[in-house]
A and B are shown apart, each in its own frame.
Chain A
Amino acid sequence: MSSISEATDRTPILEVRDLYVGYGSVLALQGVSLDIYEGELVSICGINGAGKSTVLKAIAGVLKPKSGHIIFKNEEVTGKNPEYLHKKGMALVPEGREIFSTLSVAENLRIGAFGRYNSRRFADDLADYFDLFPILKERYHQSGGLLSGGEQQMLAIARGLISHPDLLLLDEPSLGLSPTRVDDVFELIVKLKERGITILLVEQNAERALAIADRAYLFSTGTVEFDGDAKDLLDNVDITSVYMGGKKGAHIL
C-alpha cells in the first residue's frame, strides 16, 4: 500500500470493502476490498474466473453482493440498482461491448445519455467525441450491429463516456479484437486518463494494462492476490505464475 502516497489523505471515490458475491452457491468473490481515487487509472488483472468481471458487475449494480460494502462518492450504494448508479455518475462499458445492434450508432449514443439527455449538450458532446472516435462520425446513421468489433468497442466506450461519468468501468475492452485494434483501445484509455477521467479497467491482458495503469489489483480465485503500484507489480510479480494459479511461486519484493 506504500504506493498510494499522496492519495492517502483523500477519500476514495470508490471503496469496496470485504465484498462477497456468488452465483447460486458458488462464491465468485470472497472478501474483496479495493479503493479508487479521483483521476486514477486502476487495473484489475487475473485469469478467467478470478472474479474480475464479477467485481465490476457488483460495483455497477448488476449483481447483488451477499455481504460487504460498496461506497461511491461518499454514499453506501451496496445493492442499489444499475440505473441509480448510472445516475449517480458511474458508467460500465460491459464485456463483449453489448452494443444495441438494432439501434443506430446515433441511437446507441443517445441511450448512453439517457437520464441526462439534453439535445444541445448532446450535440456538443458529439462534436467532442467525433474527434476522439472519428469512426463514429462516419458510421453515425448505421445500425450498431453492422460495425466491426473494434468499431463496436469504440462505440461502447463513447456510449459510456457520453453520460460524463465520475467513474468509468471498462470490462475487458481489448477482448476479441485484432492486435491493431487492441493498440487503439489502449491508446484511447491513455487519452481518457490524460483528460482526468477516473477509470477502473478490468483486463486479461495484464502486461498491457499494468503498463498504463497507476495502480493494480491482481485477482486470483475471487480474492485479491497482490495490489500496489502498477509498475512495481509489472516488474516484481511473476504474472505468468499467478495466471497459472501458482500463488506460491510469485515473488513480490
Chain B
Amino acid sequence: MSTQIFVEFTINVLSMGSLYALISLGLVFVFGICRIVNYAYGEFITASSYALYFLGTFTRLPWALVFILGVSAGVAVGYLSELIAFRAFRGRSLDALLVTSFAVSIVLQRTFQLTISPRAKAVPVPAFFNHNMTVFGVVTPLRNILIIGTTILLLTVFALIMKYTTLGIAMRSASENFVTARLMGVPANLVISVAFVISGFLAGVVAIFWSARTGSVEPLMGAPPLLVGFIAVVIGGMNSLVGAVIGGFVYAILSNILSLTLPSGMLSYRDAVMFIIVIAFLVLKPEGLVRGNYQEESIG
C-alpha cells in the first residue's frame, strides 16, 4: 500500500469514524440512562437539518450562528420528545418505551412531510467546508478535517464532564443503577432530561456534517444515520460510552477496508457484507466490544 493510499485511508477512517462515533454516542447516552432504544434519534438529526436549511436559506445569519441555532433545534426536539412523549411511559416495560420511540419517530416524519415538503430540500453549506486542503500529499475537503477536530473536542469535553462534575458522576451512577441513584437524591427528571439534551445536541452536530455530505434534507433522511448508529452500537456495545465511540470507529475501519478490498463488481454488496459482519457480532459477541456495566432493570 502506497503512502498516499494509506493517508487517504486514514483520513477517511478518521472523518467517517468521528461522525459515526457521535451518532452512536447520542443513542447510547439515552440508552445508558433510560434503557430506551430511541428510534426517533434519526428524526432529531432531521429536525436539526431542517433548521440548518431554513436558517441557511432564508436568513443572512453568520455561519457560526446558523450552526448554533441548528444544534439548538436538535436539543429542543430531544428535550421536548422526552417531556411530551417518553416521560408518560417512564417505568413501563421496555417494549412500551420502544413503541413510544417509534411513535415519536413517525409523528416527526409526518410533521416534516405535511408542514415542510415530502421532497428533498438543498441544505446550504458554507463554502469553506468544501475547500480542499492537502494533508501529507492527499487532497481532502476541509469538512473531513473539521469533523475530526470537532469530535476530538466534544469527546474531550464530555469525558471531563462525566469524570469530574457532580452532574457527570450522577449520570454515571444513574446509568449503573437508576433506583439507587434516586435513593441518593439524584433526581430522575434531571438525569433523563440531560441524557435527551445531550442526545439532541449530538444529533445537531451530526446534522451539520451529515447534511454537508449529502447536501440535502428530506423527511426520511433520519433512517441512514440511525442505521449507522445501531451498527456502531452493536459492534461497540450498548452499555458504555467508550464502546459507542469505539464502535463508530471500528465500523468506519471495516467499511473502508471493504471499499478498498472488495473487487469492483462486488462493491455494491458492501453493505450486505457489512450486515453479515454485524450479524456475526450479534451471534458471537452480543454485548459488543466493550461490555460496560450490563444489568437488567427498568426505571420507576
A residues within 8 Å of B by Cβ?
Answer: 60, 62, 81-83, 86-87, 91-92, 94, 98, 100-103, 107-108, 110-112, 114-117, 159, 163
Tell whether, in the assembled complex, residue B176 and residue A102 are in contact, meaning their CB atoms are under 8 Å apart.
yes
Tell whether, in the assembled complex, residue B173 and residue A103 are in contact, meaning their CB atoms are under 8 Å apart.
yes
Tell whether, in the assembled complex, residue B172 and residue A112 are in contact, meaning their CB atoms are under 8 Å apart.
no
B interface size (C-beta, 8 A): 19
* Given A101-B293, A102-B293, A115:B169 Cβ within 8 A: no
Q: Does B187 contact A (CB under 8 A)?
A: yes
B159-185, CB < 8 A from A: 166, 169-170, 172-173, 176-177, 179-185
Tell whether, in the assembled complex, residue B180 and residue A114 are in contact, meaning their CB atoms are under 8 Å apart.
no
Q: Does B300 contact A (CB under 8 A)?
A: yes
Name the prevailing secondary structure of the B interface residues: helix
Q: Which residues of A contact B172 (CB under 8 A)?
A: 100, 102-103, 107
Q: Which residues of A contact B182 (CB under 8 A)?
A: 62, 81-83, 86
Q: Which residues of A contact B166 (CB under 8 A)?
A: 110, 114, 117
Tell whether, in the assembled complex, residue B185 and residue A114 are in contact, meaning their CB atoms are under 8 Å apart.
yes
Tell whether, in the assembled complex, residue B293 and residue A62 are in contact, meaning their CB atoms are under 8 Å apart.
no
Q: Which residues of B contact A62 (CB under 8 A)?
A: 179, 182-183, 300
Q: Does B245 contact A (CB under 8 A)?
A: no
B residues within 8 Å of A by Cβ?
Answer: 166, 169-170, 172-173, 176-177, 179-188, 293, 300
- Output the least CB separation between B270 and chain A (Å): 37
Assuming A62-B300, A100-B181, what are 11 further A-B pairs, CB within 8 angstroms? A92-B183, A100-B177, A100-B180, A101-B293, A110-B166, A110-B169, A111-B186, A114-B166, A114-B184, A115-B187, A117-B166
CB nearest to B179 among chain A residues: A62
Tell whether, in the assembled complex, residue B185 and residue A83 are in contact, meaning their CB atoms are under 8 Å apart.
yes
- Output the least CB separation between B149 and chain A (Å): 30
Q: Which residues of A contact B186 (CB under 8 A)?
A: 83, 111, 114-115
CB nearest to B293 among chain A residues: A102
CB nearest to A64 among chain B residues: B300
Q: Report Cα–Cα, A192/B125, bound state, in Å.
A: 65
Q: Which residues of B contact A102 (CB under 8 A)?
A: 172, 176, 293
The 26 listed contacts between A and B (C-beta, < 8 Å) are A62-B179, A62-B182, A62-B183, A62-B300, A82-B183, A83-B185, A83-B186, A83-B188, A86-B183, A86-B185, A98-B177, A100-B173, A100-B177, A100-B181, A101-B176, A101-B293, A103-B172, A103-B173, A110-B169, A111-B173, A111-B181, A114-B184, A115-B185, A115-B187, A117-B166, A163-B185
- Output the least CB separation between A229 and chain B (Å): 30
Tell whether, in the assembled complex, residue B183 and residue A103 are in contact, meaning their CB atoms are under 8 Å apart.
no
Tell whether, in the assembled complex, residue B169 and residue A159 are in contact, meaning their CB atoms are under 8 Å apart.
no
- Output the least CB separation between A121 and chain B (Å): 13
Q: Which residues of B contact A110 (CB under 8 A)?
A: 166, 169
Q: In the complex, which of the residues B185, B293, B300 contacts A87, with contact meaning CB atoms closer than 8 Å?
A: B185
* Given A101-B293, A110-B166, A111-B169, A83:B180 Cβ within 8 A: no
Max count, chain A CB within 10 A of own CB: residue among B170, B180, B293: B180
CB nearest to B163 among chain A residues: A107
CB nearest to A88 among chain B residues: B185
Q: Which residues of B contact A111 (CB under 8 A)?
A: 169-170, 173, 181, 184, 186
